[in-house]
Homo-oligomer: A and B are copies of this chain.
Amino acid sequence: MTAGPAEDTRTRLLHTALRLFTEHGVEGTSLQMIADALGITKAAVYYHFKTKAELTEAVAEPGIRDLDELVLRAGAQKRRGAQVDLLLEGFVDLVVRHRTLVALFSSDPGLIRAIEKSAHGGMEGFGQALLGILSGPAPDTTSRVNAMVALTGIAMAGGSPDLASLDDEELRTELLDVGRRLLGRPRRRTHLPVSTL
């Protein structure tokens, strides 16, 4: 199945919107600006998205969907260690995969506000779900602080222009290491350490 021209325009609309949101903020970007950047009419934009709120939700949708799935998968693990490892690895993957979107989420309340009104119940709900799994049941203050620093630090660093030069694999390894250190999880190795014998 190939993408029809309508689907093509929709995808291009979403990419262009994300780019302009990053440059001008969600609230500083109009549907007219997006139409102009694509060389299409505002009517053509309206054909796909009735309102800017609808478009904004669609831009954030892939990240939100992945986050939703991650919370469900991690919550379904039986052992606490497995829950934390799965959530941390999945969260780092997600941050790396959606770097541009994460940068926007970290810096633009316009995007967060747009999501708040969505069916997902907002970032606040996700934040609580992620923190709940990472810090465990009835957490002490230290566990809560560690979980919060891990989540926000990974998201902020992952979306930071200062680390944009790192390739995905490098960024993933670094963010995983720092997250494991913060959450007291053992560092996994994909290959065996060189023997010192």
Interface set of A (CB-CB < 8 Å, partner B): 25, 27, 107-109, 112, 127, 131, 141-142, 144-146, 148-150, 152-154, 156-157, 160, 162-163, 166, 170, 174-175, 177-178, 181-182
Q: Please give, as numbers and ranges, the residues of chain B lying within 8 Å of A163 by CB-CB distance.
A: 144-145, 148
Q: Please give, as numbers and ranges, the residues of chain B lying within 8 Å of A112 by CB-CB distance.
A: 107
- Contact of A144 with B156 at beta-carbon distance under 8 Å, contacts A109-B25, A109-B107, A178-B182 already known: no
Known contacts A144-B163, A153-B156; 4 additional CB pairs below 8 A are: A131-B162, A145-B163, A148-B160, A150-B153
B145 and A178 contact, CB distance less than 8 A: yes
A141 is contacted by which of B108, B145, B149, B166 (Cβ under 8 Å)?
Answer: B166
B145 and A149 contact, CB distance less than 8 A: no
Complex Cα spacing A144 to B164, Å: 12
Q: Please give, as numbers and ranges, the residues of chain B lying within 8 Å of A144 by CB-CB distance.
A: 162-163
Complex Cα spacing A134 to B144, Å: 24
- Contact of A178 with B149 at beta-carbon distance under 8 Å, contacts A108-B109, A109-B25 already known: yes
B109 and A174 contact, CB distance less than 8 A: no
Q: Which residue of B lies closest to A184 (CB)?
A: B181
A152 is contacted by which of B108, B146, B153, B182 (Cβ under 8 Å)?
Answer: B153
A141 and B157 contact, CB distance less than 8 A: no
- Contact of A174 with B142 at beta-carbon distance under 8 Å, contacts A109-B107, A148-B162 already known: yes
